[in-house]
Amino acid sequence: MDAQLAKYKAQISKMRPGPSQDAVKRRALVILKQKRMYEGQREQLYQQSFNVENANFAAQNIKDNITQVQAMKAAHKDFKKAFKAKELDIDYIDDMQDDMMDMMEMTNEINESLGRGERPPPANWRKSLSCPLPRIGGRRTLTEFFFAFRPQSLRRSGRRGRVRPDGRAGRP
């Protein structure tokens, strides 16, 4: 249609005014009216297509919402059932926590008793730790004492790094 309109426009510009030019103008007007009618129909089809797609989208959203509500109902039912169970009873949980704390305290007491050895520590054990320890030319602090008597595997070698378990110097 655009090609026909361009052809008629070219003919009108070449022709002299008169009845033949008017006939070409009428044919061009008919083609132009058809073009506008087709464009209007095309726009209506586009609008109808848009409306159908929009309705499909809304229907799909409704289906998705129904599915979500059903899932929420099922989850709600499961939650209710789970909270009725003994494992989620707050009093039961508190009692279990108290029992665990009591057992931990008993375990600590047992470990402490086993770690004492054959004789109990002296009554003034804190004072005995801060007493001066013999050292050539002065006093030794408790930290120096422990570092002086630690096992060979924990001592630093002459080189940089720690002593390896196989006895060589360097990083393990």
162 DSSP β-pair partners: 156
Task: Say how far apart CA 52 and CA 9 lie, in whole Å.
Answer: 40
Its sign, for the CA torsion 28, 30, 35, 36, is positive
Map residue 134 onto helix, strand or coil. strand
Task: Say how far apart CA 151 and CA 170 lie, in whole Å.
Answer: 17
Task: Say how far apart CA 125 and CA 105 lie, in whole Å.
Answer: 23
CB 130 within 8 A of CB 144: no
CA torsion, ordered 99, 104, 105, 108, to nearest 10 deg: 160
Examine the pLDDT at 116 and tell me if it is beyond 90: no
Examine the pLDDT at 44 and tell me if it is beyond 90: yes
* High-pLDDT (> 90) share of the chain, %: 31
CA torsion, ordered 28, 33, 36, 41, to nearest 10 deg: -140
Amino acid symbol at 32: L
Tens digits of residue pLDDT in 3-22 = 887 887 787 778 788 887 78
Its sign, for the CA torsion 83, 86, 87, 88, is positive
pTM assigned to the model = 0.37
Tens digits of residue pLDDT in 64-73 = 999 999 999 9
Segments making up each domain of the chain, as ranges: 2-85
Residue 141 has which token pair?
């602090």
Amino acid symbol at 36: R
CB 169 within 8 A of CB 157: yes
Amino acid symbol at 37: M
Task: Say how far apart CA 79 and CA 85 lie, in whole Å.
Answer: 10
